[in-house]
């Protein structure tokens, strides 16, 4: 798939402070999670993508066009900023219809889109209330609404789940996945890893202005050779199973779980291990209850890459 968003040696300084350094990547249709701790450069990256900041070095292109001052491309982009800022004196309806009118839609189309979008985010009943009277969650939802109201091809969401209750988060994640299924490009930033994991396995990890890793979480994990994979197996005879692997060269460590019915194996060749495990289970008719990979997740990948 061709990348919709492309950056080439993208760098940004704030005086002497490095915001982003030498970022070259392509973002394809689907959901891409942008992960990093606070101050990593996520918002800087998003502001560069949305033309709010100008790169010091390098370039940002969307649909092959440089984004800075290219107002026409913004018809295809929806941006949900991180900051909790609104025109407080107007209602949610007025806010949404006002911003939709900037896209050149007719009055009837503006109304129709606004009604549909408010229904999607669940704010139809509160549309005539002033935004200053909205709760935190409602404010986040109206912010999301203004990003999707004009049916953009690219949706850039900066911490979209912040302030939402668990039901609200679940609903929004579901919505984002729907947009993915429609073939749109969605970039979501967060510092809460489980939220991103719930949406996508395609991630960009950013730390101190630099990209640490990019791609499918599992492939990224595989690339981290310095940290062996940890695999936990719950079965009827953990010690018997351990004996089958103790001579294998790719098994680095074996220890037993505190409950006595599981063993934890560390290996730097996951595929070889699983190949052998299948053989052993079939040969010995071993009853295996559960196989998990405790560190095959985003938190572990992030921790390893950041060097914790």
Partner 1 sequence: MLRTTREVFAFFFFLGKRSRKMKVFFLLSLLPVALAVLVRIAFGGRSSEVTSVFQEILMVYFLQFLIIILALFYGTSVCSEEIEGKTLPYLTTRPLTKGGIIIGKFAAYTALSALMVLVGLAASYLIMSFQKLGEAATYAALLRYAGVLLLGLMAYTAMFTFLGTFLKKSILIGLAFGFGWETAIQYFPGSTQRFSVVHYLKSLLPYYSAGKFSILTFRLEPTSPAVSVLVLLLITAGFLGLACLFFSLKEYMFED
Partner 2 sequence: MATIREKGYSHWDGALEERKFPWWPITRTGIQLAFRRKHFKFFFSVSFLPAVVFLVGIYISERIEDFKFMIKGSENFIKINPAFFKTYFTNDSLLFLMVMLLVFSGAGLIADDLKHNALQLYFSRPIGKKDYFLGKAAVIFFFILALTLVPGLVLFFMKLVFSGNFKLLTGYPWLLPAIIGYSALLTIFFAFYTLLLSALSKNRRYVTILIFAVYIFSDVVYGITFGIFRSPYVALFSLKANFQQAGAVIFGQRLPYAFPGYLSFFVLFGICAVSAAVLHRRIRGVEVIK
- Interaction residues for partner 2, span 123-142 (CB under 8 A): 130, 132-133
**Binding residues for partner 1 restricted to 128-147, rule: CB under 8 A:** 146
Which one of partner 1, partner 2, none is in contact with 86 (Cβ closer than 5 to 8 A by kind)?
partner 1
**Which entry of partner 2, partner 1, none binds 133, CB below 5 to 8 A by partner kind?**
partner 2
Rounded Cα distance between 202 and 186, Å, is 11
Choice between 131 and 233, CB closer to partner 2: 131
Q: Which of 2, 17, 72, 225 binds partner 1 (CB under 8 A)?
A: 72
Cα 10 from Cα 271, distance rounded (Å) = 36
Q: Is 104 or 294 the residue whose CB approaches partner 1 more closely?
A: 104
Which CB, 79 or 302, lies closer to partner 1?
79
- Cβ-based nearer residue to partner 2, 88 or 119: 88
Binding at 50: pick from partner 2, partner 1, none (beta carbon under 5-8 Å per type): partner 1
Of 37, 65, 89, 243, the one binding partner 1 (CB under 8 A) is 89
- The angle at the Cα of 58, spanning 57 to 63, to the nearest 5 degrees, equals 145
DSSP letter at 53 equals S
- Count of residues of this chain found to bind partner 1 when the rule CB under 8 A is applied: 29
For 62, 137, 162, 163, 186, the CA distances from 84, given in Å and listed in that order, are: 26, 11, 10, 10, 21
- Chain Cα centroid distance, residue 295: 18
Any contact of residue 257 with partner 2 (CB under 8 A)? no
Tell me the HSE value of 215 on the side-chain side, using a 13 A CA sphere.
10
Question: Using CA atoms, how far apart are residues 39 and 195, in angstroms rounded to an integer?
Answer: 19
Q: Parallel, antiparallel, or unpaired for β 154-158 and 288-292?
A: unpaired
Residue 132 touches which member of partner 2, partner 1, none, C-beta under 5-8 Å by kind: partner 2
Q: Which is nearer to partner 1, 87 or 256 (CB)?
A: 87
Rounded CA separation 56/225 (Å): 34
Burial class from Cβ neighbours inside 10 Å (0-12, 13-18, 19+) for residue 194 reads exposed
Residue ranges in contact with partner 2 by CB under 8 A:
130, 132-133
Residue ranges in contact with partner 1 by CB under 8 A:
14, 50-54, 69, 71-75, 77, 79, 81, 83, 85-87, 89-90, 94, 98-99, 101-104, 146
């Amino acid at each position: 798939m061709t990348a919709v968003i492309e950056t080439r040696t993208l760098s940004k300084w704030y005086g002497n402070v490095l915001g982003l350094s030498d970022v070259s990547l392509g973002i394809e249709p689907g959901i891409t999670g942008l992960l990093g701790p606070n101050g990593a450069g996520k918002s800087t990256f998003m502001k560069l993508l949305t033309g709010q900041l100008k790169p010091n070095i390098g370039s940002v292109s969307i649909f092959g066009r440089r984004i800075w001052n290219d107002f026409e491309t913004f018809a295809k982009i929806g941006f949900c900023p991180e900051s909790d800022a609104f025109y407080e004196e107007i209602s949610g309806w007025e806010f949404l219809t006002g911003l939709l009118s900037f896209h050149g839609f007719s009055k009837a189309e503006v109304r129709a889109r606004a009604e549909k979008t408010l229904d999607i985010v669940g704010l139809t009943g509160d549309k005539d209330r002033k935004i200053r009277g909205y709760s935190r969650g409602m404010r986040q939802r109206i912010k999301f609404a203004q990003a999707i109201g004009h049916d953009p091809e690219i949706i850039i969401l900066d911490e979209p789940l912040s302030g939402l209750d668990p039901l609200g988060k679940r609903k929004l994640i579901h919505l984002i996945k729907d947009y993915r299924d429609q073939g749109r490009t969605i970039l979501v930033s967060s510092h809460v890893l489980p939220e991103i994991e719930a949406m996508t396995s395609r991630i960009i990890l950013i730390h101190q202005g630099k990209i640490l890793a990019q791609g499918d979480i599992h492939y990224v994990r595989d690339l981290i050779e310095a940290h062996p994979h940890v695999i936990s197996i719950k079965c009827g005879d953990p010690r018997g199973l351990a004996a089958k692997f103790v001579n294998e060269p790719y098994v680095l460590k074996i220890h037993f779980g505190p409950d006595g019915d599981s063993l934890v194996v560390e290996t730097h060749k996951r595929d070889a291990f699983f190949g052998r495990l299948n053989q052993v289970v079939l040969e010995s008719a071993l009853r295996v209850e559960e196989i998990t990979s405790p560190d095959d997740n985003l938190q572990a990948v992030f921790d390893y890459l950041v060097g914790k």
